[in-house]
Structure 1
């Protein structure tokens, strides 16, 4: 992918992330869109950065894989975003296993977990936050065992 195409995809992904997460806040009360931006900044490749910006769009909005394709995102990018979409009826462990099967999704999920495990963003850490952290640590170690994110 040439630099112009990459910049175009990154810009388009950022605009879609802003649209998808408009009005949403994270557990600390900050605009949710900052999360995919932070995850994107941790990524090593352009493809990972695009996927990171889009990683919660299908899960948290009415944006569909078909829309991503129609917006011009390559199939491998859309497949990675689908891999990162956690469906309501899906066990978390099954979801993480599914993420591990796509190399781009695996790398992005590692960075997603790193951001999610940063408790310094919270004003107060609760028992619920610590339980969530432990769940994320199990997933993080599992995904790192594939060698991604190093």
Structure 2
């Protein structure tokens, strides 16, 4: 869980001062719920960081470097348990004494998902969604992202434009859910991530 907590601290710092369309703190109203919706630690990390390269001046390698730095700080101070203070109510802490430092393969998997989730890297929305449909980690996080985006209660007085955006989100969600159903129907259950 160290890596999830590190991603939460980094995401909160990077998005400090940003607001969502309803004027709410962006980290608390969007990134934290998307992160918490993740089934495993990778989905939680990517959920917390999925907008960082898109909505801040940092690239993915810088963002992941910040997470790694936070992890190394905690690994070098094993008696310091203050790292759990801010997010202990949000994420279940596995009872483990050691801090798991993700492997290079795991970091690459996370970086790939973050790259795919950055709509600035695709020429258009159609290509953006198509690329997400073939990466299970990015697809799961995007579904969580859209579920949170479709929560219109985050906007006190929704406009016609907000309602139109909700329709687009619903259509995209259905498309991505179809892709997800295809993926899980062809996967071996024990190997699903």
Q: TM tier, shorter chain? A: 0.7 to 0.9
Residue number in structure 2 paired with 1:53: 48
| Runs of 4+, deviation exceeding 2 Å | 68-73
What's the C-alpha RMSD, in Å, of the aligned pairs? Answer: 1.8
Task: Return the TM-score normalized by structure 1.
Answer: 0.87
Give me the whole-angstrom Cα distance separating, in 2, the residues matched to 1:88 and 1:130: 26
CA contact (8 A) 1:69 1:75 kept: no
SS in 2 for 1:12: helix
The superposition leaves residues 48-82 of structure 1 with CA deviations (integer Å, 9 ceiling, x where unpaired) of: 00100000000001221221443436111111111
1:88/1:48 CA distance change after superposition, 3 Å: closer
Of 124, 132, 140, 1:107 maps to: 140
Task: Return the TM-score normalized by structure 2.
Answer: 0.69
1:130/1:43 CA distance change after superposition, 3 Å: same
Radius of gyration: which is bigger?
Answer: 2
Residue number in structure 2 paired with 1:133: 166
**Superposed counterparts of 1:36-47, under 5 Å:** 36-47=31-42
Higher relative contact order (CA 8 A, sep 6+): 2
Q: How many residues align?
A: 143
Of 19, 40, 44, 2:13 maps to: 19
**Superposed counterparts of 1:63-78, under 5 Å:** 63-71=58-66, 72=68, 74-78=107-111
Unaligned runs of 5+ in 2: 69-101, 185-193
Residue number in structure 2 paired with 1:62: 57
Q: CA deviation at 1:18?
A: 1.0
CA contact (8 A) 1:93 1:139 kept: no
SS in 1 for 2:164: helix
